[in-house]
Structure 1
């Protein structure tokens, strides 16, 4: 396996944008589950640059990822589901997010609303469309799929009833080793039941209570991470036969530094202002180890996190068979 020598005094100003804006999730040499919730749109400074100033992040992969999403939905329409009572929440999501995008990207996007009549322009797609809030037929492909064609985030909507939250709608094409179709209709605690340590340490219970206390319009975020082989966004359980076998061979692959990616999800948690539903946006970022190693502090932290991670957590993340090879390569830099 080749080893890349990294200059510890490398100038991060010359790093490409994909590295400078990457949401590197580790602040220490070890990792344990936590709620790690903070207010949305708060800029986070890293050793390479910064991220987080916007609710919706648009990057160099924008058109490519939206085309990939369209392909996934064409092959497997079950990746988008809306239970009938969630239609108002979908429209609430559209008006909330298109307005936010227009505010954050005024040079390329605009959103105007008068009553229920709306006009959305997206210069990145050469798109100019008029639609009516509440009228599903006024948008091509229907409202949720249309929204999924405008943002890179996966969209999850939870209804709040019986003092809990229920996953009753969403569009999820880039799941990290889970199945949206399987989880639809389940409540928040059931969905997170398989995650090791969450129940014993009461992390999920505290997170559940925090979310239920959110007021309409409040926005927070958190990060989560795992690892993915190759730049593959769709690692859902439905497609496991396509990517699962690579987990058993990547450790011995000389191309490991370029093929193995740190996968970070920036998850926004928003209590929608009109419907009261809970919106989870999941934006997935991928960066290969070869790019991680260009930032000396990242190389060392991530290498130590992988080496120290408890085995039950490594098993759940699906990285047990290659995490030592990854850690060894990073720490040898």
Structure 2
């Protein structure tokens, strides 16, 4: 991520919160894969406002996105998977994140732990529960599914063994053109093998070494991006038949500026304090081109990024059939 000081547009205060809080990912007019890792919970300024002050971000879409997650899980329970040896890591993630939320949102969240007995209150859901760490039956659907009902992020847990990271647990309902079920049990390099350029540039191997060196309690973050047609959170490969055809028609659609969204993932990387596992949180943000264009600097940067992006990267992101139409529209404003 860029450390350049950003001058906020003087009209930004008039923009709606969804724009002012959006994690716009482009610092320049070009984009290439990079680790772009920085410490978590540091406010990141943009031309429209800022983002990133909290580990778990709660916004206006909180209840709607959790309701959508529940529908996905009821339709496809395979989106949750915990290999047996990862149970302690799941409990570690749950208590770590609930405690963080209570600290960041004291008006609506409360967490107290005495021994292994925990109390959790979520005022946004009118929820009060008591559970026992280590006792899966104390939470009706288990600790991981419960955590997924409290945060908007997808949750991935990586085990550390043989000097390698392994995807051995998670809850993923909002994947961007990949399959959590397919990747469970794979190691870090296998998961990222399809990404173009990263092998030659050793980005993934360097990222893995960085993660392996994290100390318990350390927290970092990075961003990633693609584009999505409609405000569709679940664009996993399992649901491709529902949305894949839209990629071939959106460029000619007069409503493209309202339908085509920049999709940004804020990915948090956390070494859990007790289990030592790596917690990988993926929070998805969507903003249509029509809103991007309301911030002049964003309109120009994104238009130039799309125009310059190499074809192999555009193909991998699934945007090659409409990226020119999107770029032309943004740069013509």
Superposition TM-score tier, normalisation by shorter sequence: over 0.9
Which residue number corresponds to residue 257 of structure 2? Answer: 257
Which residue number corresponds to residue 58 of structure 1? Answer: 58
Which residue number corresponds to residue 269 of structure 1? Answer: 269
**Do residues 318 (structure 1) and 313 (structure 2) align?**
no
* Partner Cα distance (2:293, 2:102) in 1: 35
- SS class of match (1:262): strand
- Tell me by how many angstroms 1:113 deviates: 0.2
- SS class of match (1:282): strand
- SS class of match (1:58): coil
How many correspondences in the alignment?
325
* Partner Cα distance (2:185, 2:254) in 1: 43
Which residue number corresponds to residue 131 of structure 2? Answer: 131
Matches within 5 A, 1:124-273: 124-273=124-273
Unaligned residue ranges in structure 1 (runs of 5+): 1-8
Deviates more, 1:53-62 or 1:9-18: 9-18
**Do residues 74 (structure 1) and 74 (structure 2) align?**
yes
- Tell me by how many angstroms 1:210 deviates: 0.3
* Partner Cα distance (1:167, 1:179) in 2: 12
Which residue number corresponds to residue 4 of structure 1? Answer: none
The answer on whether the counterparts of 1:263 and 1:284 sit within 8 Å (CA) in structure 2 is yes
* Partner Cα distance (2:158, 2:302) in 1: 33
- Tell me by how many angstroms 1:140 deviates: 2.1
Which residue number corresponds to residue 93 of structure 1? Answer: 93
The answer on whether the counterparts of 1:91 and 1:134 sit within 8 Å (CA) in structure 2 is yes
- Tell me by how many angstroms 1:11 deviates: 1.1
- SS class of match (2:124): helix
Which residue number corresponds to residue 308 of structure 1? Answer: 308
**Do residues 113 (structure 1) and 142 (structure 2) align?**
no
- Tell me by how many angstroms 1:12 deviates: 1.1
- Tell me by how many angstroms 1:319 deviates: 0.1
* Partner Cα distance (2:230, 2:176) in 1: 13
**Do residues 103 (structure 1) and 103 (structure 2) align?**
yes
* Partner Cα distance (1:97, 1:106) in 2: 14
- SS class of match (1:240): helix
The structure with higher relative contact order (CA 8 Å, sep 6+) is 1
Which residue number corresponds to residue 332 of structure 1? Answer: 332
1:238-281 per-position Cα deviation (integer Å, ceiling 9, x unaligned): 00000000000000000000000000000000000000000000
1:141-191 per-position Cα deviation (integer Å, ceiling 9, x unaligned): 111000000000000000000000000000000000000000000000000
- SS class of match (2:306): helix
Q: Runs of at least 4 residues of structure 1 off by over 6 A? A: none
Deviates more, 1:240-249 or 1:138-147: 138-147
- Tell me by how many angstroms 1:208 deviates: 0.7
- Alignment RMSD: 0.6
1:194-225 per-position Cα deviation (integer Å, ceiling 9, x unaligned): 10000000111110100000000000000000
Which residue number corresponds to residue 6 of structure 2? Answer: none
Which residue number corresponds to residue 12 of structure 1? Answer: 12
The answer on whether the counterparts of 1:10 and 1:295 sit within 8 Å (CA) in structure 2 is no
Which residue number corresponds to residue 5 of structure 1? Answer: none
Which residue number corresponds to residue 5 of structure 2? Answer: none
- Tell me by how many angstroms 1:10 deviates: 7.0
